[in-house]
Structure 1
Amino acid sequence: MRNASFIRRVLSISLSILMVLVFLPLLLAILIPIFIYREIIFAVVKFWKWDEFDSPVAPLGALQVSEDIYQGQGRIHSTACFLTLRGPVNIAKIRQAFTKYAVNRRDAKTGKLVNPELQQNVKYWMGYPFWRHLPGFDIRDVVHMYQNDENFTCTEAFVEELTKKLMFTPFPTNKPLWEAIILPHLVSEDGEKTSKFGILIRSHHVLSDGFNMFRTFQKMSDKGEEFNFIKPRDYFNGLTVKGPSRLETLVKWVKFVSRVPSELGEALVDLALNETWDNIHERGIGLKMDLDGSHRAERVITKRAQKLQDVSDITKIKNTHGVSGTAVLYSAITGAVRNSIFRQSSQIPHSTFIVTPFPVPSAGEKLENSFTLGYLNVELANPDPVSRLLGVHEELEKVKASTLPTVVAVCMKLSGCLPRSLVHFIFERSANSSTIMVSNLAGPKGKSDVAGHELISYKMSQGGPANATVLGVCMSSIQGKLQITVSADMQTLHSEEVADEFLDSFAQELEYLKKGGKLE
């Protein structure tokens, strides 16, 4: 073990030196001509094609829209949020709230629209995406009743299937890249009437990430101050905060830059030594289907836990073991992967990566993508939940203090500046890595509302798993209750039974930790 650690250290140092002396100069030599080409394209659009395009898509947004979102070929990177609300539904008030707080909201200083993209869609020209205005925008076209039926009745199981289908349905070329579908009457699985209705909001990831979507829901709430959600913390080592003097700011940046080569070298070595899940994916090859458009939903398995977890239990576990609540959840996810996906595997990888989005301090008031990614190298083969929990906590604290979230943010923005073909290449490589992608959204702690309707629950979904090897896990909490959803392509999550095993194992891991390492 000591020998392996020594080899890892030598590789990290060697790679750090190579990055500074070889990779960085080579990268600059490649990127500079690309950026010059990009600026030329933008200048041509600004002065000669101003009547056809509005503005270029921001780099982080461009990174999310490399596929053909109108044809249904390749991967459609959509985001969906299903809000369960207390009825009766008032569609006029809902449309008014979307119009006032999202579509027509203006900046107090400039008077310009905060979210003009909500009345636009995207078109590529010469390899780069641009926003283009859609004439005749009507809020009634994008905020509407399902099938225009005010009496439509459905169960939440129907909503699950509808959501999955819409996640892979191409967007129309004459409408914006979002819609809010109202399901006016929700009934129980046995057909019993309830007082609930739902709003299914589908948007392409080029518009916004989940964090900024929550900010818009907060604006649409009559009790906005109670609509608590995960707030941006400083993962950038204070770089976004100006120092009291230019000298101190310069010193802070010099210290930061000096740490980057060694920390990035260590991370790249961990990534290179990360064991793949090839044996799992090979077993799933027989389940692979080549499908296009909305039919790709047929190859994606999505399961939500029926039993909600008490957030107070997570708090008890973190206090007992002296760790963070995030570490508790990520450790339970790792154990669930080990005990479900690898349950019948003769060989379990020593470690794997959890990739999780972090909101960043620069996030503003508009709908946009403003996040970075954290990479946690967690022990997968470790059978002891307590030992694994302590290891995950240590790794999470290491990530929070490292330069890597800032480096990843810069790399993502640089990647979004590349032409479409290169962005697509990068996107496909990341989608076919053996990682666990975890989304963690903390919603309102108390009672809240959206457009005057009491918010009962919300469920977030991502459209990335089809044809990918990434395992997606989404956690959401509201009023002290936490729900977990697992989603993946058939080649990773072979059956709904495996998905059920994952959710059961997640709950068992928490129960074990809650009892201090004893499971009756």
Structure 2
Amino acid sequence: MAVFRKFCDMLLFYIFFLPTVPLLLTLVLIFWLLPVLLYRSIVWVLARTFRKDLLSFVSGIAGAYVDPDPNKTISNFLVGFVLTGDISSERISQLFQERVLNLKDAKGNFVYLRLQQSVARFMGYAFWKNDPNFLVSNHVRDYDYQGDLRLSQTPDEHEIQRIWLSLAEAPWKTNQSPWEYLVVRNYCHAGTTKPHSLIIFRVDHVYCDYYSLTGLFRVAFRSPFATVKLSGKNTGLSWKQLKSLLTIPYDIFVKMCTNENKKSPLGERHGSSNLCFNYTSTIHVDEIKLIRKNHGVAYNAVILSAINGAIARALSDAGATPPESINLGYGLPLSNHPGGFNVHVTQSTMELPCYAECPKQRLRQTHDIIVEGADSLLQLVFAYFLRFLALAPVPIIWTLQRQILAPSKFLPSYFLTNMPVTTTKENVDGLEIVDIFHGVSVTHGIGLFISCLGINNKQRFFFNMDKSVFGDEASAKKISVYFEEELKAL
């Protein structure tokens, strides 16, 4: 009956929608595309004439990550590697100069030339611009932040946890490429008295995605950073993909209508001072694989079910009623990554069960939803939408994003980035990487951002959240413990 009702709803939608398609396309062409392309062309001619230092537009998906304020960024990535032994910033700088900055492709072009460029604004657009005073020493150096970000002579993970999110949001120097390697020496790694080092890499999201970062680490450290390859798709268009293609307008319409009046059960961000950061202990990939095998479900279903179970418990702990389902936003890689420093990703949303009578019931429902949406083309459509949107000047892009994303009318309840864990033991100049940290700065209103990174088949889950998400900081800090308990329950 539910399938028949959905079919009838779709039929009525397309009866009224299809006749309006030519009109909608004409309106988009007249009132958006033509004016934008005309203005963009004028700006390009003027830039070539009066600003020859500007190289090219910040275009594609990267254009959607440019903040209209030159002194701010929409999002920064932060990755930290704990090494067994001591390494200096001078040695890291040498490796970076020799292996990364001098690397060329088959055509003789520098692969990581983007690292010597910054973003400049001209007539509302963002452009790539070479840094005429580029020095590796400006970017690769000993940890030198002071004030609230200052570290002691022998910092440990508690100090890193204290400064991590504030470091992610720290402002960049003007007219300098927004990336840096920071070396923390005499780091106290839990469970050992031997000296360790912590290497922190920070970069503006407009420069790259996580797959670009993996490639950079592979080149700079000459370590495998091997991950399980994503399962390939058939070259032909499957029936599920064809069905997804035909139902895209209806799916978008339903998502917009169902999200518009649905209040997110999780909180929004209320400034840097209200942020909370914690993470799980190290979890071996085999633990999740065993759960997947025992229940006959997808690997991601185990992770997502445990996360939503932890959210339900944290909400209950804070005195709130967990919702039956929750809207998740997640990042996805696009196929055929071009290499180097690029933003080649998309994102989508999924409605998954949150409250359940038992963890196994939630897991099975989560698996079924993931399988049903596996061939959806909405993610690809969103990627092209971002490219289309990025044709406009930055203030217009920002205004449209703010109108859509704030005040949380179409925001998911939380966002997840689940990166593949490396299957190999990694090292830097012969020093083994024994632990990893991750953080991200987020300016949009999502109150909870979860990420997963790992090496050598071991991973951590990191929770970046506003304290208001679960009512208070005490409840917020329990979510990592609840997540591990949910995994054990499965």
Scaled by the length of structure 1, the TM-score of the pair is 0.83
Decide whether the 8 Å contact of 1:471 with 1:488 is kept in 2: yes
Decide whether the 8 Å contact of 1:76 with 1:168 is kept in 2: no
Q: Distance in 1 between matches of 2:96 and 2:262?
A: 44
Q: CA deviation at 1:180?
A: 0.9
Q: CA deviation at 1:273?
A: 2.0
Equivalence for 1:32:
33
For structure 2, the 5+ residue unaligned runs are none
| Partner secondary structure for residue 417 of structure 2 | strand
Equivalence for 1:208:
208
CA RMSD of aligned residues (A): 3.1
Q: Which of 379, 384, 399 pairs up with 1:410? A: 384
Decide whether the 8 Å contact of 2:83 with 2:433 is kept in 1: yes
Q: Distance in 1 between matches of 2:290 and 2:242?
A: 39
Q: Which of 136, 140, 161 pairs up with 2:137? A: 140
Equivalence for 1:384:
358
Decide whether the 8 Å contact of 1:233 with 1:359 is kept in 2: no
Q: CA deviation at 1:88?
A: 1.5
Q: Distance in 2 between matches of 1:418 and 1:353?
A: 29
Q: Distance in 1 between matches of 2:450 and 2:316?
A: 16
Decide whether the 8 Å contact of 1:56 with 1:130 is kept in 2: yes
Decide whether the 8 Å contact of 2:276 with 2:477 is kept in 1: no
Q: Which of 101, 111, 124 pairs up with 1:103? A: 101
Decide whether the 8 Å contact of 1:8 with 1:269 is kept in 2: no
| Partner secondary structure for residue 88 of structure 1 | coil
Equivalence for 1:66:
67
Distance 1:262 1:418, change over 3 A: same
Q: Which of 108, 121, 125 pairs up with 1:124? A: 121
Q: Distance in 2 between matches of 1:320 and 1:216?
A: 37
Equivalence for 1:501:
478
Decide whether the 8 Å contact of 1:259 with 1:403 is kept in 2: yes
Equivalence for 2:277:
302
Equivalence for 2:158:
157
Q: Percent identity?
A: 21
Q: Which of 424, 431, 436 pairs up with 1:453? A: 431
Q: Distance in 1 between matches of 2:201 and 2:470?
A: 26
Decide whether the 8 Å contact of 1:276 with 1:434 is kept in 2: no
Distance 1:280 1:329, change over 3 A: closer
Equivalence for 1:217:
217
Distance 1:405 1:165, change over 3 A: same
Farther-moved stretch of structure 1 (271-280 vs 196-205): 271-280
Decide whether the 8 Å contact of 1:19 with 1:261 is kept in 2: no
Q: CA deviation at 1:128?
A: 1.5
Q: Distance in 1 between matches of 2:82 and 2:70?
A: 27
Equivalence for 1:168:
169
Farther-moved stretch of structure 1 (133-142 vs 366-375): 366-375
| Partner secondary structure for residue 221 of structure 2 | coil
Equivalence for 2:331:
357
For structure 1, the 5+ residue unaligned runs are 244-251, 290-295, 514-520
Q: CA deviation at 1:7?
A: 5.4
Distance 1:178 1:268, change over 3 A: same
Residue 312 (1) aligns with residue 286 (2): yes
Q: Distance in 2 between matches of 1:80 and 1:41?
A: 37
Residue 474 (1) aligns with residue 451 (2): yes
Residue 89 (1) aligns with residue 87 (2): yes
Decide whether the 8 Å contact of 2:469 with 2:476 is kept in 1: no
Q: Distance in 2 between matches of 1:176 and 1:510?
A: 41
Structure 1 residues 113-147: Cα deviation after superposition (integer angstroms, max 9, x where no partner): 22222111111222211011111211011000012
Equivalence for 1:248:
none
Structure 1 residues 407-433: Cα deviation after superposition (integer angstroms, max 9, x where no partner): 122112112222212321343333632
Equivalence for 2:441:
463
- Size of the aligned set, in residue pairs, is 478
Equivalence for 1:491:
468
Q: CA deviation at 1:395?
A: 1.9
Equivalent position amino acid for 1:352 in 2? I
Farther-moved stretch of structure 1 (313-322 vs 367-376): 367-376
Q: CA deviation at 1:359?
A: 1.4
